[in-house]
Amino acid sequence: MGNDGGSIPTRRELVREAARAPSTAQVKETQREQQEHAWTTCPLSHKSLARPIVSDSVGNLYNKDAVIQFLIPGDDGEGISSKSDCEEVLCGRVKSLRDVVELHFEIDTELSEHPSDKATAHRHQRREGWICPITAKPLGPSVKSVYLVPCGHVFAEEAIRQLKGDKCLQCDEPYTEDNIISILPIKDDDKQRLIARGHKLAEQSLTHSLKKAPGSKKRKKHAAGENAADATAGAPKPAAETNNRSSTSTPTPGSGIKNAAAAKIAAKVKDEQDERNKRQKVAGRNENLDSLFTKKDDQKKGGDFMTRGFSIPAAARR
């Protein structure tokens, strides 16, 4: 470092330009590139989006076959990233096909024709021409788009906001304000609204497609049966009915039947079976005992079991 004609650079010479925050134009350009990629590429398979296309609760787009491959248990599916990479993309939002909605795009027939220009042909081979059926605007990064749950029809947001209806404009399927889902939202307000909607549906045991979550119906039915049993047990009973049930159909604590109606039927069947067994047991005992004693018919025949085969001498009779 010395006596060799060299020099020691200063910090000012090393750092020519200080790091600067990106400008508004740069941020918009980055967002546009990200939106263009998300509108054309499936994040699970990294392939071009092609129908059928589905969306999750936050408006992300996927190829349906890639979602199905991810949901198949076992090793990593063919044509998609590893399970861990897919989990990182989905963030636990997709656990079954009920957690996604299949989207129905209106196809622009003019753009779907095979163009002569090679550059245009390559672009349309990557994605079909999708348009809003109301405004005829092309759907993509430049147009804010939404779809409706549960039908899945896609429109430009301005068409839905201006018409302010409660039924789908294509299939007349009813929908609510909360079920208007933004596709690939950019604003934080839209993202937070969709996240809050997902939490609200989870509390109601519903999925993104408004279908019951797996296993929730069974638990709800089981809870309803327990509530009915508790209500039946706690309700006051008439005196006659109470006395009747105490002698015949009161379910035992160890029966294991929680449903009141089922327990009543089981107790009744058990009582009838016990009564039948008791009658059979008593009838069998009487027949055995009766065979030991003399009956009127046996006297005519010459005695009972104890005296049959023995005759009293005539002298003894006198």
Same domain, 67 and 158: yes
> Is residue 312 assigned to a domain?
no
- Among the candidates 175, 203, 231, a domain finishes at 203
Question: Does pLDDT of 300 surpass 90?
Answer: no
**How far is 162 from 159, CA to CA, in rounded Å?**
5
What beta strand segments (E) does 30-182 contain?
53-55, 61-63, 101-103, 106-107, 130-131, 145-148, 154-156, 180-182
Cα distances from 84 to residues 44, 54, 68, 90, 95, in angstroms, run 11, 20, 15, 10, 14
Question: Does pLDDT of 157 surpass 50?
Answer: yes
Instruction: Give residue 128's pLDDT.
Output: 75
Mean pLDDT over residues 83-100, rounded?
A: 93
Averaged pLDDT of the chain: 76
Domain that holds residue 109: 24-203
Structural domain total, the chain: 2
Confidence of residue 195 (pLDDT cuts 50, 70, 90): very high
Same domain, 236 and 278: yes
Instruction: Give residue 28's pLDDT.
Output: 85
241-251: per-residue pLDDT in tens? 444 444 444 44
Range with top average pLDDT, 114-128, 130-144, 209-223: 130-144
Q: Compare 209 and 283 and report the one with higher pLDDT.
A: 209
272-295: per-residue pLDDT in tens? 778 877 776 665 555 555 565 555
